[in-house]
Structure 1
């Protein structure tokens, strides 16, 4: 009988151990389910945040592209304005040279008064020079300026310079003017030289 009691005690002990294992497994399973549910919630939150980030990144890219195209438009506009300004500046220089040549052709010497005439009015917005307007202005000036004696060229008094030395030719005068930095005189002399060369 003693052996039967021992066996019964062992069986009771095994049942108790088995009962504890089941409750531990149930607790572990509940913890795992809770952890899995928590991870699923976190994953959903991360996916939601990732979608929001993706949308924000796409919006930022669209904004950058729109801004870049605006910048490119601004750059192109600045380039076009620069080209137009360069064309107008070139036109102004060309109009001044043509005006001086037309004055020289008519034998008109305005001297410092030539600076008072606004030559930019002969230049269009695109930089082109209005030759007809230059001719009309010079014709008007020819009517207003006093006429010199016939055969007078308006300053050439016998080829001398009054000091007993021979007069310098136009090319030497141009070189001297450019050396001194007198670009206006240089342009006038070049116009006069061009006029003389067309007469030959």
Structure 2
């Protein structure tokens, strides 16, 4: 049986792998200047100099594209696993706050937009809130396993306390910095840690 080599070419133009980061940068810039509701796939396409189909081949929706633009560098980091409980929590918060520093106004806008757009709200929760909650949960679970956290610690409540504290400050436009990360980590450790 003879083997026939398939020499057919894919239909359409080849995918430009370098276009992705450029498109994300344009989406980011537009959301920073116009807000989430003021941005459309058509506007991103026009400003990025690519066809809408290029965007839809990579992202299923505007929400998907915008969330990639802002949250590609999630605060999920293996380095937290090797640190004592309080230091791991503080390092996580410092990293998160550093990532939020530049994007604070845009993130506030995304949160506001999520309140009136249920699909976007669900996507925002899945792509931003839940991954960071999982990092905190993992820090707590390791702290429990290593005897640094009390066995009766309400981990779900602790996650809410941590998120509530930083969301409140973010929404109020207050500083999210190393000092606040240290204060919050110390508070959580005093509340849930073994003494």
Highest CA radius of gyration, 1 or 2? Answer: 1
TM-score (norm 1): 0.24
Higher relative contact order (CA 8 A, sep 6+): 2
TM-score (norm 2): 0.24
| Structure with more helix by fraction | 1
